[in-house]
């Protein structure tokens, strides 16, 4: 089975020439000597038979592997040793570990926990850190936990506080020790799967925590007037800058900023987005991702059917319309992004040209994949 997703050397080299013209202040891309190397992407999806699957594809359209999931998947993580992890969408409890040979193991969260859809491996690949809900904890301030899993033996061996409620995406900084944790601030319980139980007093934050001892290093809170702005998804550069995607839980008529950057030594800074763009997001940003250079990032809004692009300093650059778009990943070349939608579309967006190339369009001749929220560049 093949999806027609072609990203040829000619396209890459042509776009590199455009970048040299349109982005003269940027250095020559380092990928030019390696343009023939294929990059793989992992996406969760729903197929034409209604099954939930995870699909590994190459940029030239070959489906290398496909895995059937017990329920809807959400986020994924790549191990330095070549393995993968796929996490169930809240409030489910499935965790899938895939080794470098493609063999998959299905694990489950303990009975008093469920996953929040994200996780990250330790630098040696021996441990997996997962965002979890300690939903029956009488101290609701302590319901957000980071689970510690032994990958080889497939079992949970510990946990520590996420330093917040409703922990969602977690990433590991380049130092190999500091976890960046998006605490969405929303209290939930599996007995009420889609209900938000504390909107009046939610307090989201971005926490920096030592993965080895669980010690809180620092925490970034939002302004008091934005306490209903749930911090959900993040991406980080090798220099420690985090881009943050948020979802507003306040009044439907309110337009608030949803995208920001922050670092351990850099204050929280909302991007410089036009007011009409803030309104078009419809209070929801789904995924966020830096490009290969770490100088630009993309933020998707499936409700608004748009992806917006920024410099790392938060300057707005361009906008791309795509129906039900959410999944975003860095393309092999700097200044480029791969975008996927719930409508089955996959596009390559070139920030230098501010144009897109359609890599895959649904038709009667192609199997339907409703691509889910996130995409992992492998």
**What is the per-residue pLDDT for 28?**
31
Tokens (6 digits) for 144: 């957000």
Residue closest to 39 by CA, chosen among 24, 61, 22 = 61
DSSP-derived 3-state class of residue 102: coil
Look up the pTM and report it. 0.88
Beta carbons of 82 and 134 less than 8 angstroms apart: no
Question: Within its chain, how far is the Cα of 78 from the centroid?
Answer: 12
Q: What are phi and psi of 68, to 5 degrees?
A: -85, 130
**What is the per-residue pLDDT for 90?**
85
Element (H, E) at 149: strand 144-150
**What is the per-residue pLDDT for 104?**
94
- What is the spatial distance between Cα 130 and Cα 152, in angstroms, rounded to a whole number? 16
pLDDT digits (tens, 9 = 90+) for 126-159: 999 999 999 999 999 999 999 999 999 999 999 9
- SS3 letters across 216-262: EEEEEECCHHHCCEEEEEEEECCCCCEEEEEEECCCCCCCCCCEEEE
pLDDT digits (tens, 9 = 90+) for 185-236: 999 999 887 789 899 999 999 999 999 999 999 999 999 999 999 999 999 9
């Amino acid at each position: 089975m093949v999806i027609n997703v072609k990203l040829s050397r000619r396209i890459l080299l042509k776009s590199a020439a455009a970048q040299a013209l349109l982005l003269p202040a940027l250095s020559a891309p380092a990928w030019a000597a390696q343009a023939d190397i294929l990059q793989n992407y992992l996406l969760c999806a729903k197929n034409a038979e209604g099954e939930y699957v995870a699909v590994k594809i190459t940029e030239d359209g070959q489906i290398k592997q496909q895995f059937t999931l017990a329920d809807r998947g959400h986020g994924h993580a790549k191990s330095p040793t070549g393995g993968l992890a796929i996490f169930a969408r809240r409030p489910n409890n499935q965790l899938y570990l895939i080794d470098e040979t493609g063999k998959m193991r299905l694990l489950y969260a303990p009975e008093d926990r469920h996953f929040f859809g994200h996780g990250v491996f330790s630098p040696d690949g021996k441990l997996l850190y997962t965002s979890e809900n300690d939903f029956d904890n009488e101290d609701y301030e302590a319901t957000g936990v980071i689970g510690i899993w032994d990958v080889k033996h497939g079992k949970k061996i510990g946990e520590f506080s996420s330093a917040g409620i409703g922990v969602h995406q977690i990433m590991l900084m380049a130092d190999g020790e500091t976890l960046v944790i998006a605490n969405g601030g929303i209290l939930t319980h599996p007995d009420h799967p889609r209900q938000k139980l504390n909107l009046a007093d939610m307090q989201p934050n971005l926490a920096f925590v030592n993965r080895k001892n669980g010690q809180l290093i620092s925490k970034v809170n939002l302004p008091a007037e934005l306490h209903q702005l749930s911090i959900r998804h993040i991406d980080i550069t090798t220099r420690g800058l985090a881009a943050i995607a948020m979802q507003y839980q306040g009044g439907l008529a309110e337009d608030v900023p949803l995208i920001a950057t922050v670092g351990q030594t850099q204050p929280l800074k909302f991007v410089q987005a036009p007011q009409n763009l803030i309104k078009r997001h419809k209070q929801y940003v789904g995924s966020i991702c830096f490009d290969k250079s770490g100088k630009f990032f993309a933020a998707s809004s499936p409700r608004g059917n748009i992806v917006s692009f920024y410099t790392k300093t938060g300057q707005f650059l361009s906008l791309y319309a795509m129906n039900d778009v959410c999944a975003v990943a860095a393309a092999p070349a700097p200044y480029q992004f791969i975008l996927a939608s719930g409508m089955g579309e996959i596009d390559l967006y070139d920030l230098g040209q501010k144009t897109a190339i359609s890599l895959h369009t649904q038709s009667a001749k192609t199997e339907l994949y409703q691509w889910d929220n996130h995409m992992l560049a492998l």
